[in-house]
């Protein structure tokens, strides 16, 4: 636990380290204070996100894998991460960029991981995309319903489990069956997803992280516009 006086005197690298530690420990209020402090020192929202919050969650991921942390602790860390993201979200979206396209994004059926998907949604909003965030555990009907309702340019799917990533193929196959696959850009992401898998299921690209998702979406939108 920290008090505000301490963090104000702290060098920036120590502040970021503390943010990672507090995220690890699930201290949401402290993470919020540290995010605000880092922003007040002139760090960009993106730097705070990647060097503070995402870096902290990476450590959680390793310890979860190694059996040091268990689900309840990881949930607390996720809650602290989300508290930090609430501050960063409007700042990342504040670019005033003109609308570049519409993205429907969701975590696929059977999967409840949403932190990375929400980061992608935030960064895409910041880059000027209109984003319809479907949340977690989306089946084919959910994606198809959103396509009917919002006529998006891009469908984004997230999966964090090796057991749920195959569901992305089900969605792509349904787009093909409905004859709308070519009208849409399909982007996939999540820790177990890679380029070979994306190609195999017939997606347009796999995005390693939120920044790559933005870059890829912008590039493929430019190609789509050229084709008219």
Applying CB under 6 A, which residues contact ligand B1M? 54, 57, 60-61, 64-65, 71, 74-75, 78, 105, 110-117, 119-120, 156-158, 160-162, 187-192, 207, 209-210, 213
Q: Which is nearer to ligand B1M, 127 or 157 (CB)?
A: 157
Q: What is the DSSP letter of 106?
A: E
Q: Which is nearer to ligand B1M, 7 or 81 (CB)?
A: 81
Token readout for 64 is 């979860």
Closest separation in Å from C-beta 135 to ligand B1M: 10
Mark out the alpha helices in the chain (DSSP H runs).
Answer: 4-9, 12-25, 28-40, 45-48, 55-65, 71-92, 115-126, 140-150, 167-177, 195-201, 210-227
Closest separation in Å from C-beta 228 to ligand B1M: 24
| Residue 132, Cβ density class (10 Å: 0-12 exposed, 13-18 middle, ≥19 buried) | middle
SS3 203: coil
Closest separation in Å from C-beta 187 to ligand B1M: 4
Residue number with the smallest Cβ distance to ligand B1M: 116
Q: Which is nearer to ligand B1M, 11 or 99 (CB)?
A: 99
CB-CB contact of 155 with 185 (8 Å):
yes
Closest separation in Å from C-beta 40 to ligand B1M: 24
Q: Which is nearer to ligand B1M, 17 or 113 (CB)?
A: 113
């Amino acid at each position: 636990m920290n008090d505000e006086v301490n963090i104000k005197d702290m060098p920036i690298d120590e502040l970021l380290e503390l943010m990672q530690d507090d995220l690890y420990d699930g201290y949401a209020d402290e993470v919020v204070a540290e995010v605000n402090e880092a922003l007040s020192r002139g760090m960009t929202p993106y730097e705070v996100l990647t060097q503070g919050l995402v870096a902290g969650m990476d450590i959680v991921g390793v310890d979860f894998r190694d059996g040091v942390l268990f689900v309840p602790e990881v949930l607390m860390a996720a809650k602290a991460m989300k508290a930090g993201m609430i501050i960063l979200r409007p700042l990342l979206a504040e670019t005033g960029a003109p609308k570049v396209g519409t993205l429907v994004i969701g975590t696929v059926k059977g999967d409840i991981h949403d932190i990375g998907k929400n980061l992608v949604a935030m960064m895409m909003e910041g880059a000027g995309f209109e984003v319809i965030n479907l949340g977690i555990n989306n089946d084919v009907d959910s994606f198809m319903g959103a396509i009917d309702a919002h006529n998006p340019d891009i469908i984004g799917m997230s999966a964090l489990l090796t057991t749920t990533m195959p569901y992305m193929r089900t969605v792509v196959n349904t787009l093909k069956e409905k004859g709308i696959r070519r009208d849409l850009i399909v982007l996939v992401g999540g820790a177990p997803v890679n380029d070979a898998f994306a190609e195999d299921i017939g997606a347009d690209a796999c995005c390693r992280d939120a920044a790559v998702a933005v870059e890829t979406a912008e590039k493929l939108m430019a190609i789509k516009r050229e084709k008219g």
